[in-house]
Structure 1
Amino acid sequence: MLFPEEIETDRLRLRRLSHETVDAIEYYRLCSRHEPGIEDVTAYLPWDPHETVKETHDYLDELEAKWEAGTRAEYVIRPKSGEDGAGEIAGAGGLVLDWERQTAKPAIWLRKRFWGRGYGGERAAAMLELAFDRLDVPLVAVPVEDGNERSRRAVEKYVEAHGGQYDGVVRNSTVRPDGRVVDHHRYTVTREQYRASVGTA
């Protein structure tokens, strides 16, 4: 198995996101306009709120196919016992692998009620460990859409903590779901920077 089925951090339990681990209808409700604050959650994400249960079902199919192909490891995030909302789905996060470019890209979304707890950085540390220690990827790149200052602050914090750097702005980096072309700020951590930061050879 290329990716671990489960990952634990101090406060979080990450489990492979699939039809087996979540109910498609429950997950749809969290990814749709039924979820309070979903418009704020998806404002800078590469997807809009889901419109139908079928859309969520097909999305889970897609994630399962990418998992099997070794191009994306996606995990449902749940706080551990002792945390507010323990056991609930707080969001999802994972790692997108571009083996040709020898680069991994972390991704995350969290329900609004779970913002401000540092879960993003905790999950990021786990994804860096997965990328560098298990998969031996040479580079992790983190794109942040221009204007998303909240995410930039969070990314800067964990990238700096792991020896990484800010590379600059990538113009016309991607197309949003609504058709807008947007810029991204690019942050990177190399395998060598990461290992120096955690004290491994």
Structure 2
Amino acid sequence: MRHFPIFRLRVTTPRLELRLPSLDDLDALADLAAEGVHDPELMPFTFPWTDAEPAARALGTLQYHFGTWASWSPERWSCLFAVACEGRVVGMQELSGSDFAVTREVSTGSWLGRRFQGKGIGTEMRTAVLHLAFDGLDARYAVSGAFTDDHASLAVSRKLGYRDDGIETHSRRGKAADLRRLRLTRDDWTTLPGFEIHGLGPCLPLFGAEPAP
């Protein structure tokens, strides 16, 4: 697709491929969402989309992806990658930016199908988009956040070198819950071998990351 080259962008790691999903990939993501992506007793998301019924979670997954494609602009974008491990779609990794040309700041979010959790995939796919952000897009900062009882997400952030960046209080299922903000700077980022970016050049204007003249 010449006018939206993001569909040719890929990030590869020793085990994973991150790509904008095909329609078949979207079906696979919707199936995973319907199966569930976390313990129903917990809620790791600020928007509780996983509280919906399975069919609604599946449809919402499709609609969310379609919506980000339709609303993409260099001033505000959200790149939703399907994550494939050994050829099988296992989850979604998001990298987003707002006024990136000015702020040089990105944020991340993700989820994995429950049967693929506990295998180190979450760390590897977050590392992949950080590689894209810092080494591909020349970001200065990457921010993330997790509720204080989301130990798995916080552990990934700590492992990758994020530092505390404050606390926010959210209403979660009708009760107050603290979310810990986290920030990773370019100076604290270390590029790892085996992580590669493919097809980025034509995409740079869409990210607001055109090379300086």
State the TM-score, normalizing by the size of structure 1: 0.75
Task: Indicate if the aligned counterparts of 1:95 and 1:107 stay in contact, CA closer than 8 A.
Answer: yes
Q: Equivalents in 1 of 2:191, 2:29: separation in Å?
A: 35
Partner amino acid, structure 1, of 2:77: T
1:115 positional shift: 1.0
Aligned residues: 179
In the alignment, which of 63, 75, 99 is matched to residue 58 of structure 1? 63
Q: Is the 8 A contact 1:73 1:95 kept in 2?
A: yes
Following TM superposition, by how much is the alpha carbon of 1:118 offset from its aligned partner in structure 2, in angstroms? 0.9
Determine if the alignment matches structure 1 residue 120 to structure 2 residue 115: no
**Which residue in the other structure is 1:84 paired with?**
none
Contact kept? 1:7, 1:15, Cα under 8 Å: yes
Is 1:75 aligned to residue 44 of structure 2? no
Q: Does 1:22 align with 2:34?
A: no
What do you get for the CA RMSD once the two structures are aligned?
2.7
Write the deviation string for residues 113-172 of structure 1: whole angstroms up to 9, x where unpaired: 11111111111211111111221121101211121122212221112xxxx4223x3232
Distance 1:29 1:134 in 2: 31
The residue that corresponds to 1:189 in the other structure is: 184
Q: Distance in 1 between matches of 2:60 and 2:6?
A: 27
Give, in angstroms, the shift of residue 27 of structure 1.
3.3
1:11 aligns with 2:15: yes
Gaps of 5+ in 2: 193-213
Identity %: 25
Separation (CA, whole Å) in 2 of partners of 1:192 and 1:3: 30
Partner in structure 1 of residue 164 of structure 2: 166
Structure number with higher relative contact order (C-alpha < 8 Å, ≥ 6 residues apart): 2
Q: Deviations over 1:85-122 (max 9, x none)?
A: xx222111021112264321111100111111111111
Residues 139-158 of structure 1: pairs in structure 2 closer than 5 A: 139-158=141-160
Are 1:139 and 1:190, in contact at CA under 8 Å, matched by a contact in 2?
yes
Contact 1:90 1:110 in 2 (8 A): yes
Structure 1 regions of 5+ residues with no counterpart? 81-86
- What corresponds to 2:202 in structure 1? none
